[in-house]
Chains A and B, each alone.
Chain A
Amino acid sequence: MKHTFLVLFLMGSLAVSAQSSRYTEAMAKQTADLDSSSTFNPENLQQKSNTFERIAEAEKTQWLPYYYAAYMQIMQAFTSKDKSQIDPLTEKATINLDKAEALISKNSEIACLRSLIASAKLTVDPMNRGPVYGPEAAAQLVTAKTLNPENPRVYMLEGQALLFTPEQWGGSKTKAKTTLELALTKFAAFKPESDISPKWGEAYTRGLLQNASK
């Protein structure tokens, strides 16, 4: 009798570990090439966001697939040539982030993506949307920094904002350079929580830094 219980218990944990290894494997495969520039073509992004969404909806208790699905959709918004796609894509990303946030509250990475969403929405109509989404993008970065001052993506996004903003509006190449260099030191020190936790952005930051050093 005792043994039967033990066997059932073991079986149960075995099934769970099989389940989670399937999850980690799938996620590891999907997140492996997020820093490679070849990932960032519309077809790939669409495929990846779909895959992450499938994993997210099958798991339902993991925040990371929702997070990555949103990230892919945001990148689709930024790379899309059709401005009218930006709003629906970012709205979709927002829904995914809301689901992620329901599973893990107060997360610096999620705040970073929300900042990107605001920036993407702004580009649709900078004249009219600037006053709303400009501050929103900045406020999300402030939140992200408060939640985790060691998150390198916060500094990467700050540096990017400084780099691409005209000087009259508070942008500055020299400041961008300092912030991006800080981002790189943060990347070097950054230890992701797991193999599949967010760690993207270092290669992109180097690219930005090159741009800022010109």
Chain B
Amino acid sequence: MTKIALGTILLACCPLFLLAQFTISGIVSNAKKHPLSGVNISIKDSYDGATTKADGSFTFTTSVSGDVILTAGLMGYQTLEMQINTNAAQQLNIVLKNAVNALRVVTISAGSFEASDDKKGTVLKPLDIATTAGAGADIVNAIKTLPGAQQTNDREGLFVRGGTGYETQTLIDGMLVRNPFFSSLPDVPGRGRFSPFLFKGTTFSSGGYSAQYGQGLSSALILESTDLPQRSSSSVGLSVIGASGGLEQLSKNKKSSYGIEADYTNLAPYFKVLKPKQTVSLGPEIIGTSANFRIKTSSTGMLKFYGYANWSKMGFDNNSIEYPGYTESFKLYNNNVYTNLTYKESLGNNWHLYIGASFSANNDDIRADTISKNLIPTTIKVHSELSQGRLMFYKNIGRFSVIRMGTEYQNAVERSAFNTYNANYTDNYNAGFLEGDIYFTPFLVGRIGGRTEHSSIIDKWNVAPRVSLAYKLNNFSQFSVAYGDYYQKPEPQYIRYDRGLDYMKATHYIVSYQRVASDYTFRTELFYKKYTDLVKTVPSYNNNGSGYAQGIELFWRDRKTIRNADYWISYSFLDTKRDYLNYPFRVQPDFAAKHTASLVYKHFVEKIKTNLGVTYSFASGRPYYNPNLPVDKFMSEKTMTYNALSLSGSYLTSIRKAFTILVVSVSNAMGNKQVFGYHYSTDGLRRSEIVPNVGRFIYLGMFMNFGIDRRQDVINNL
């Protein structure tokens, strides 16, 4: 009985298993009617389907009868679903649309150069900064090879598009760094205080930057610190000028880490061998320490701390031009501390929170004397403290748009003493900003926003609107424009003596075009910048200064043409004039050169595992002040052109279990004479050249990184 019943039912079911076969065929193309191969055609929830051939055609049979969903999918295209009826004879014509993913979307690019690992299409990687010959692993020195930055190597700071070093602000995780450079002596620029390896992203904005940041008339250097390290490690460095050591510990659950680092630099032995131009009387000696921790507070939350403290001292003796036969002595003691604590968390519903707090302090103690002339020695003490807080909310709207709003507070204490004369002040600064990156289409974005600021010492509010637009022409090219107002407080040395000063102002106009492919990058930018309310020191302190800067910049980077080589070329043409400080009228200022160019070339020699680097920088002569000329010839004379060729080689190897890099570098390898300007005696009869302290600097160093399992060093070359 059971058998019969089963048999009957099986028989009845048979048609279900012996279905008719239907043939489905067609052709797939893209919007431009080019056939697409490799497209996965399938009938949803069945195995049936096919892959399109080179001519875009496909054909397959299916046993599913009736209405079905047919899907067509290919990487880089939007998957298409369509309803078809398998019973009807099918010759399908399928057109796939390009997928709109983050890679293809336009981004705001006017005025900014980004170095980042996690974003695609960036111009530089963090490692590029560290491996640029002549930069000595200094972020700012590497950025000087990019268009817009000047080769102003006799004073510290980044001089951008006719702006002074003061007009560039440095920010770490959104928080201002008041003293990013080591304090230095006259004519000797100080290096940056932090290592490029601390940052996963660096954005150099040569103008038109976001309303999130303020108080920089020209430029912003925006640094983003690294997240949790990949593993625990320790490192040791040894060089001709000092030693360093560090430790980075990642917790077992990989949710938190801490790191400490210390370095000691002493140039005295080096200067005994290679005599500098000035006679060394103290140091130069630097002790640096830094500490950080990072805690992943939730799947989206991150708490980060970074802080450093430095102590430095240095002193030089010079032949006095004021008093021939006498020696001028200059000594500087500096200590500096910077701390930065930030917290990021997602609040849900696409809202995000960002909070930051920072405290920094800087102390300069300068002693100047004309030895045995019996003039009263000069003591200058400058102390500054900056406490700041930042709160920002941002919300993602749709797939790509975002709006940001935030507020900043800074309390700055500025104290200075010139011998027994004191001039101190405190400034309370408040700012608020609102900004939206609005995607009208995936190929057209507008960043529209504004910032308002109030400084208690100036006792005025300002409002700075900022707008940029970017339009993507195709997968590689885009076109951008930017406009913005930028305000900045006058430098402390002027506010200190005159509380009636107002904000200085700059207005930026930028047009830019870029083409970024995987192996090359081309960029060009045209800009015009208008300065108003610059500080003048004559007849008395006032805000009557003004000026302009305009120019064109080019950048080309190529990673393909020469095997194992990567090079970039940048060129900046700058036309700028300003009337500020004690200038009698508008002239090209002494820190600006008309033509600046750099070539950075890196070559990896596989056979000897060595990276070779060459950097050549050029700048046309800069104006200098000759007091012997009549007033109408002010700044009419120019220095010689600037040429510097730097070489570097780094050999990568492993010693025992440590990943080791041996570095040799020579800055100004050809020993080109470099003159940045002249100092004149008060009577104008004698002058001395402003030249680099050492003509050619040779550096030898070794860096070792321990604690890495050898297996983990492996690079698989499949």
Contacts and interface: CB of A to CB of B under 8 A. Distances in A.
Contacts of A7: 2, 5-6, 9
B51 A50 contact: yes
Interface in B668-718: 708-718
Contact of B47 (A26, A127, A160): A26
A92 interface: yes
A23 to B, nearest CB: 8
A135 interface: yes
Contact of A11 (B9, B230, B708): B9
Contacts of B653: 168-169
A144 interface: no
B75 interface: yes
A171 interface: yes
A73 to B, nearest CB: 9
A182 interface: no
B2 A135 contact: no
A134 B709 CA distance: 11
B18 interface: no
Interface string A85-106: 0001100100000000000000
Contacts of B42: 50, 53-54, 57
A131 B653 CA distance: 14
A128 B49 contact: no
16 contacts: A3-B2, A46-B38, A50-B40, A51-B47, A54-B42, A58-B45, A58-B47, A120-B718, A123-B718, A132-B117, A134-B715, A161-B716, A164-B715, A164-B717, A168-B609, A170-B654
A11 B716 CA distance: 53
B716 A164 contact: yes
A136 B712 CA distance: 8
B715 A165 contact: yes
A6 interface: yes
A113 to B, nearest CB: 13
B125 interface: yes
Given A3-B5, A53-B40, A119 B716 contact: yes
Contacts of B186: none
Interface in A50-69: 50-51, 53-55, 57-58
B275 interface: no
B27 to A, nearest CB: 17
Main DSSP-derived SS at the A contact region? helix
B714 A134 contact: yes
Interface of A: 3, 6-7, 10-11, 14, 18, 22, 26, 43, 46-47, 50-51, 53-55, 57-58, 78, 83-84, 88-89, 92, 119-120, 122-123, 125-128, 130-132, 134-139, 141-142, 158, 160-162, 164-166, 168-171
Contacts of B715: 122, 126, 130, 134, 164-166, 169
A203 to B, nearest CB: 16
B15 to A, nearest CB: 14
B490 to A, nearest CB: 41
A134 B17 CA distance: 51
A53 B5 CA distance: 40
B717 A165 contact: yes
B604 interface: yes
Contact of B716 (A46, A84, A122, A132): A122
Contacts of B126: 128
A22 B63 CA distance: 13
Contact of A50 (B49, B230, B714, B718): B49
Interface in B70-129: 75-76, 117, 125-127
Contacts of A169: 609, 652-654, 713-715
A205 to B, nearest CB: 14
B518 interface: yes
Contacts of A134: 712-716
Given A162-B714, A164-B718, A170-B713, A128 B654 contact: no
Interface string B1-21: 110011001100100010000
Given A22-B47, A138-B711, A164-B718, 9 more contacts: A43-B38, A46-B51, A58-B45, A134-B713, A135-B713, A142-B711, A169-B714, A170-B711, A170-B714
B561 interface: no
A125 B10 CA distance: 61
A116 to B, nearest CB: 8
B34 interface: no
B399 to A, nearest CB: 17
B235 to A, nearest CB: 13
A55 B230 CA distance: 36
Contacts of B9: 7, 11
Given A50-B51, A127-B127, A135-B230, A58 B46 contact: yes
B13 A11 contact: yes
Nearest to A89: B75
A183 to B, nearest CB: 15
A181 to B, nearest CB: 18
B717 A137 contact: no
B255 interface: no
A127 B42 CA distance: 40
Interface string B35-63: 00110101011111101000000000000
B230 A132 contact: yes
Nearest to B99: A88
B373 interface: no
Contacts of A119: 716, 718
Contacts of B633: none
B76 to A, nearest CB: 7
**A-B complex: 6 closest residue pairs judged by Cβ atoms:** A119-B716, A50-B40, A164-B717, A135-B712, A46-B38, A138-B712
Contacts of A170: 654, 710-711, 713-714
A17 to B, nearest CB: 12
Contacts of B277: none
B231 interface: yes
A193 B47 CA distance: 23
A200 to B, nearest CB: 15
A82 to B, nearest CB: 9
Nearest to A55: B47
Interface in B518-560: 518
Interface in B466-523: 518
A18 B117 CA distance: 51
Contacts of A3: 1-2, 5
Nearest to A56: B47
A204 B714 CA distance: 20
Interface string B276-320: 000000000000000000000000000000000000000000000
Interface in B228-245: 230-231
A29 to B, nearest CB: 11
A7 B383 CA distance: 93
Contacts of B718: 78, 119-120, 123, 160, 164
Contacts of B38: 43, 46, 50
